[in-house]
């Protein structure tokens, strides 16, 4: 075995996986400290193994470059996993709606609209379609409106483990209500 530990195909696979970008045969043989002919032979064997077993990876060769790529056969599966949140970035209205749902959940559409001061039908539907919020029940009141809450996709999208990891809300501005400005339960001092 030349220089490194492990078999040549495994070493090539590791380099291509970490690189993510096309690598020239010359650079690959130099990194592996072996002849280009040995690298080409190992690449052909890897390609055949991947193709025969319909593995998730495929070797792409173009000119003197080689790259490890996902097999096109599985593109639809990958898209279903990654696309819902990545289709487009969230609008300001959707972000505001999502923030209200995240901090006040479970919450009805009417409650979100009361907090935001605008209609939220489109934003709520958009967030449901992206899998960031979902129906979590019905409020026990007249009309039994839908209650919304966040999903695991929401947690994953924002890189948090639980709702406890949300940043704290800034203190509310109590300038509008003189009773609150002095603190709850405090008497007003003349």
Tokens, residue 109: 């559409």
- First-to-last alpha carbon distance for the chain, in angstroms, is 90
Helix ranges (H only) for 66-142 are: 75-86, 92-104, 109-116, 121-129
The neighbour count for residue 162, using CB atoms within 10 Å, is: 7
Average pLDDT of the residues in 69-80:
82
Q: In this predicted model, what pLDDT tens digit does every residue of 157-175 receive, in sequence order?
A: 787 888 988 988 888 765 4
State the pLDDT at residue 184: 41
Domain 8-70 and domain 84-168, same fold? Reply is: yes
Overall pTM surpassing 0.85 (yes/no): no
For residue 190, name the pLDDT band (cuts at 50, 70, 90).
very low
Q: Is the pLDDT of residue 59 over 70?
A: yes
- Where are the domains positioned within the chain? 8-70, 84-168
- Report the C-alpha gap between 91 and 123 in whole angstroms: 8
Q: Is the pLDDT of residue 1 over 60?
A: no
- CATH of segment(s) 8-70: 1.10.10.10
Average pLDDT of the residues in 95-119:
95
- CATH of segment(s) 84-168: 1.10.10.10
């Amino acid at each position: 075995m030349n220089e490194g530990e492990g078999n040549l195909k495994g070493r090539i696979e590791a380099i291509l996986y970490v690189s993510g970008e096309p690598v020239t045969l010359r650079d690959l043989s130099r990194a592996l400290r072996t002849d280009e002919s040995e690298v080409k032979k190992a690449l052909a064997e890897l390609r055949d193994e991947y193709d025969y077993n319909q593995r998730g990876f495929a070797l792409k060769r173009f000119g003197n470059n080689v790259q490890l790529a996902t097999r096109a056969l599985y593109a639809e599966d990958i898209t279903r996993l990654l696309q819902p949140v990545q289709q487009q970035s969230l609008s300001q209205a959707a972000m505001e709606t999502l923030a209200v749902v995240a901090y006040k959940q479970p919450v009805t559409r009417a409650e979100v609209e009361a907090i935001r001061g605008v209609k939220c039908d489109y934003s709520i539907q958009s967030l449901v379609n992206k899998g960031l919020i979902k129906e979590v029940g019905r409020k026990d009141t007249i009309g039994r409106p839908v209650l919304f809450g966040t999903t695991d996709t929401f947690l994953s999208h924002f890189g948090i483990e639980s709702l406890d990891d949300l940043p704290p809300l800034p203190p509310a501005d109590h300038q509008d209500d003189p009773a609150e400005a002095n603190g709850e339960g405090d008497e007003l001092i003349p």
